Structure 1
Amino acid sequence: MKTEREKKLITKYWLYGGSGAMLLGTGLAVLLHGSKMKEVGEDPWFWVSTGGFALIMSGLSFIGDANRFRTMADVLKELDQRAAAQQ
């Protein structure tokens, strides 16, 4: 059975992981849009592409945080199992 702390960590894992995946995908789409803007000579292509890179980096950061929360939940579960085995 999961503890309350473990449930919170898993919830954060799903929220951060899902948000990170959405930001990463959105950033890729925006970056490709900026690339097309450059091809046709539209003026703000640089800023659109820069925004795409920022979204990609934000998504990767969120995915990294999600990984940290999942690892913390797994460590907490392992520690709980060890404590139960000693009793």
Structure 2
Amino acid sequence: MRTQQEKKLITKYWLFGGGGAMLLGSGLAVLLHGSKMKEANADPWFWVSTGGFALIMTGLGFIGDANRFRTMVDVLRELDKRAQQ
């Protein structure tokens, strides 16, 4: 059975992981849009592409945080096992 702390960490894991995946995908789409704008010689292509890179990096950061939360749950479970022995 999961403790309250584990439930909170798992919730954060899913929120950060899902949010990170959405940001990563959105960033790729924006970056590709900026690439097409550059081909068409549109003026703000640089800022659109920079925004796409920012979304990608933010998404990767969120996914990294999700991984940290999942690792914390695994550590808590291992410590509980050791305490019961």
**TM-score bracket relative to the smaller structure:** over 0.9
Which runs of 4 or more aligned residues in structure 1 lie more than 6 Å from their structure 2 counterparts after TM superposition? none
Is 1:32 the counterpart of 2:29 in the alignment?
no
- For residue 48 of structure 1, what is the amino acid of its counterpart? V
TM-score normalized by the length of structure 2: 0.99
* Structure 1 CA distance for aligned equivalents of residues 59 and 6 of structure 2: 24
Report percent identity of matched pairs: 81
Map 1:58-73 onto structure 2 (within 5 A): 58-73=58-73
Map 1:72-87 onto structure 2 (within 5 A): 72-85=72-85
Count matched residues: 85
Is 1:54 the counterpart of 2:54 in the alignment?
yes
TM-score normalized by the length of structure 1: 0.97
- For residue 21 of structure 2, what is the amino acid of its counterpart? A
RMSD across aligned positions (CA):
0.4
Unmatched runs of 5 consecutive residues or more in structure 2:
none
